[in-house]
Amino acid sequence: MSSNQANELKDKGNKALQAEKFDEAITFYTQAIELDGTNHVFYSNRSAAYAKKGEYENALQDAKKTVEIKPDWGKGYSRLGAALCYLNQETKALEAYQEGLKKDPNNAQLKTAKDELERKLSQMNNPFADPNLEMKLAMDQRTREFMNDPSFCMMLSELKKDASKLSMFANDQRIMTVLSVLLGIPMDFAKKEDAKPEEKKPKTETKETTQSPESKLSDVQKEALKEKELGNAAYKKKDFTTAHLHYDKAIELEPTNITFYTNKSAVLFEEDRFEECIQLCEKAVEVGRQNRADFSLVAKPLARIGNVYFKQKDYNKAIEYFQKSLSEVPNDAVSKKMKQAQKILKDEEIKAYIDPEKAETAREEGNQLFKSGDFPGALKCYNESVKRNPADARTFSNRAACYTKLAEFSLALRDVDECLRLDPKFVKAYLRKGAICLTLKETAKAKHAYEQALEIDPNCQEARDGIYNCMRTNSTLNPEERRKQAMSDPEIQSILMDPAMRMILEQMQENPQAVAEHMKNPAIREKIGKLAEAGILQMR
């Protein structure tokens, strides 16, 4: 009996917490704990209430108690990590999230919290993450001109996200100058020859500096470039044999130029000579690194190796080389290809895991645990069932019920919507959605859900009772609460955004006699009725 009373008190606490009555919620949870001090959910919910009230030390103590009672429950570690974050103990919070993921590796909330905290910690130690970075650089005469170069701005953007990429740009003197400005540490980048006093250069030297880069090339280099261009022309014509001849000649003339190897590898790729293509790309990377080629030039053959493996459906290898390419220089096309490979792998993993029989077994186990009041245990079973058979609408409905018991209403609504997407005639799901929305005092959405249930089953008494409860709850709201709630309803928003309806409403305001004329139109009458019911429009 005491267990039932404790659960009733917990439910009252959940409602108070949802209504942001934190003291009231804490009182209910405390009373529930006095009746049953072994239930980890009571401590978890009270921890949430303390956190929202701003009593973070109390939130931390309850979170610790939650983990102590139920050390394999992921949500307990979420509470613990959140409380530690509020107390500015980020390192300990990260440890809590990591420990939670050891116990519950598939917990989405823990993964998200851990990733966000890791990003926060990395930004805290990242001088480039300064929100006033651009302004500081623009104000400093040493760095002001750098901001006019789009490629430099791109490098800064990458460093803002991840300071560990500094090694990628360490050869760029401008980046090191920026670091000097940000850290306030003087750094001497001057080379010995640059430190010498400037000497007046003869006119012949001035003339030489105005020459084009090509004019400075040796005859051998010029010949190699000609061969490369001939190879490019043959490649465009799909004359691969001729292209190979010219690229080979270019490599023979200038074996230190990475571009010639990369271009030849493109021909091998088109010919589906994948092993040779990979070998030549690896050679290109080796040549590029030995001769200090630009990062973007080294990135190309690495990306091409990734494309070879992608074409061969070896997605793990493809991702490995796409990542290597992106570590050299960011590239949207390569990043997109890598995400495509990652999605294919994930989809394959999901398909391989599907087993309807095991899904049904897990669902039945979840139902038994749900009936016994072990909602966290039931949730684990439902999670497993969803993975085993993501096409079974019943499991999403069951899990929504479980989330509701755990006061995770947004997750419950998400599951109900997925259930209805899979089975639009699932009456129980509409009833469940109505009940959740009613708990959240979203009466318009709740009423709509119950009405949809009645459309499928006109004799459903639970749906009729739900509509009645919506009207009763709606009557207790003050006009401001009703309007606020209505403005969050997508249907009401759609009516108010409709240009034709806005014109009609303006006419009705200027000329009340126009109401009767507009009400003759059934579609307009229905929309005006919805606005009046929601408290947006006052009708006489």
pLDDT of residue 497 exceeding 90, the answer is no
Dihedral (CA of 528, 531, 532, 536) sign: negative
Mean pLDDT value of segment 98-114: 87
> What integer pLDDT is reported at residue 201 of this predicted model?
42
Question: pLDDT value at position 381?
Answer: 96
pLDDT, greater one: 428 or 327: 428
Residue with structure tokens 């010219």?
Answer: 246
Residue 136 vs residue 313, higher pLDDT? 313
Is residue 36 within 8 Å of 68, Cβ to Cβ? no
Q: Is the dihedral of CA 345, 346, 347, 350 positive or negative?
A: positive
**Per-residue pLDDT for 113 more than 60?**
yes
Of 496 and 316, which is predicted with more confidence?
Answer: 316
**Lowest-confidence pick of 195-204, 251-260, 322-331, 460-469:** 195-204
Q: What residues have CB less than 8 Å from 13, skipping those under 6 apart?
A: 24, 25, 26, 27, 28, 29, 32, 45, 46, 49
d(CA 491, CA 338): 39
What does the pLDDT read at residue 89? 85
For the stretch 31-65, pLDDT in tens is 999 888 899 999 999 999 998 888 889 999 999 99
Please answer whether residues 392 and 423 qualify as being in contact, where contact means their C-beta atoms are separated by less than 8 angstroms.
no
Q: How far apart are CA 298 and CA 292, in angstroms?
A: 9
Is 290 within 8 Å of 306 (Cβ atoms)?
Answer: no
Give the list of residues 6+ apart from residue 127 with CB closer than 8 angstroms, or none.
163, 179, 182, 183
Q: How confident is the model at residue 189 (pLDDT cuts 50, 70, 90)?
A: very low
Over residues 125-149, the mean pLDDT reads 72
More confident residue, 386 or 530: 386
At 123, is the pLDDT very low, low, confident or very high (cuts 50, 70, 90)? Answer: low
Region 377-392: mean pLDDT is 94
Q: What CA–CA distances, in Å, run from 232 to 155, 242, 248, 266, 320? A: 30, 10, 12, 10, 29
Nearest to 231 by CA among 220, 223, 239: 239
**How high is the mean pLDDT of the chain?**
84
> Is 116 a residue whose pLDDT tops 60?
yes
pLDDT score recorded for residue 405: 93
Higher pLDDT among residues 536 and 416, named by residue: 416
* 190: pLDDT strictly greater than 50: no
**Cβ atoms of residues 273 and 246 within 8 Å:** no
333-355 per-position pLDDT tens digit: 999 999 999 999 988 988 899 99
Three-state secondary structure along 21-63?
CHHHHHHHHHHHHHHCCCCHHHHHHHHHHHHHHCCHHHHHHHH
The string of DSSP codes covering 359-386 is: HHHHHHHHHHHHHTT-HHHHHHHHHHHH
How confident is residue 131, by pLDDT bands cut at 50, 70 and 90? low
- The pLDDT, as a whole number, for residue 413 is 94
Rg value, the chain, Cα: 33
Separation CA 278–CA 324 (nearest Å): 14
pLDDT at residue 208, rounded to an integer: 40
DSSP string, 305-338: HHHHHHHTT-HHHHHHHHHHHHHHS--HHHHHHH
Of 331, 392, 337, 407, which is closest to residue 361 (Cα–Cα)? 392
Q: Which two tokens stand for residue 373?
A: 């009041």
Q: Which of residues 427 and 156 earns the better pLDDT score?
A: 427
Structure confidence at residue 488 (pLDDT): 63
Asked if the model's pLDDT at residue 490 lies above 90, the reply is no
- The segment with the largest mean pLDDT, out of 163-167, 178-182, 186-190, is 178-182
pLDDT of residue 47: 93
What is the percentage of the chain residues whose pLDDT exceeds 70?
84
For the chain, give percent helix, strand, coil, nearest 5: 80, 0, 20
CA distances 60 to 77, 87, 120, 403, Å, are 11, 9, 21, 23
Average pLDDT over residues 74-80: 92
Dig out the tokens for 492 from the structure. 């009401």
Prediction pTM value: 0.45
**Amino acid identity for residue 348 in this structure:** E
pLDDT per residue as tens digits for the range 263-308: 999 999 999 999 999 999 999 999 998 988 888 899 999 999 999 9
**Residue 424 CA to chain centroid, in angstroms?**
28
Residues 6+ apart with CB under 8 A from 50: 22, 26, 56, 58, 59, 62
Query: What is the share, in percent, of the chain residues with pLDDT greater than 90?
Result: 48
212 pLDDT more than 90: no
The conformation of residue 477, written as its DSSP 8-state character, comes to S
- Three-state SS string over 71-140 comes to CCCHHHHHHHHHHHHHCCCHHHHHHHHHHHHHHCCCCHHHHHHHHHHHHHHHHHCCHHHCCCHHHHHHHC
Out of 125-139, 451-465, 493-507, least confident range: 125-139
DSSP 186: -
